[in-house]
Amino acid sequence: MLNRIEHGTRTGEPGLLIAHGLYGLARNWGVIAKRLSDSRKVVAVDMRNHGLSPWFKTHSYHDMAADLAEVLTALEGPYDVLGHSMGGKAAMVLALTRPELVNRVIVADIARVASSHTQIQYIEAMKAVDLSRIEKRSDVAEQLAPVVDDPTLISFFTQSLDIKEKRWRLNLDVLAAEMPGILSFPEVSGRYEGPALFLSGANSDYVKPEYRSDIKDLFPKAQFAKIPGAGHWLHAEKPREFEAAIRVWLG
């Protein structure tokens, strides 16, 4: 089962399950999860092939949705489900295939379309790091700096580094092999009739206006909102605004 970090206790409000994006971790969501746990139980998971969760030879969205369903079954769902990017696609597939486990779904800055934003260059950058000569995260940052031009991304990637064991807590080989599937969206039948929020960054082009009718086909109750001044990493760029938007909608 997926590794999970739990915050708060389940009271009168439905619990909230958080699924991170590609190269992310449950603990990246710690601050937001803790703040939202003042009124509900919040559970953040490490997705398969990430963090402390098991490594597998596959990384399809049906696999990831099944992983989330296993967690929700153990938690005695249904829960509200929030997913960002890759986690958002997994949340969509979960809602479409196991709607009885999903009270409401929040999809952060991703749509049910194939993405043109490839991520393979970051896997190549991480695999090129000489882990034998690292003693601290800054050693890795120095090696990544010439090939990753965003310091924020470098800091984000190094969170998945096990300094003591000198290894990545990312199954880079499988993620590379499965990248075409990660960038796409699988064939899924059915519709999710529950409430759905598609929350995106105003500066992001991952959820274009022309995608809305396609989203509505599978999520007829979908609502759309944008966070001003935020890009694809909206929860990291505008955490207070992101939290406020989630609170308002869940309320």
Active-site residues, by number, are 85, 173, 232
Structural tokens at position 141? 């940052």
Question: CA-to-CA distance for 16 and 72, rounded, in angstroms?
Answer: 10
Structure-token pair, residue 146: 């010439």
Residue 50: DSSP 8-state: B
CB 41 within 8 A of CB 8: yes
Q: Give 120-129 contacts, CB < 8 A, sequence gap 24+.
A: 120/176, 120/179, 121/147, 122/23, 122/148, 122/153, 122/157, 123/172, 123/175, 123/176, 123/179, 124/176, 126/157, 126/168, 126/170, 126/172, 127/172
Contact 17, 81 (CB under 8 A): yes
Q: How far apart are CA 131 and CA 81, in angstroms?
A: 36
The amino acid present at 168, given as its one-letter code, is: W
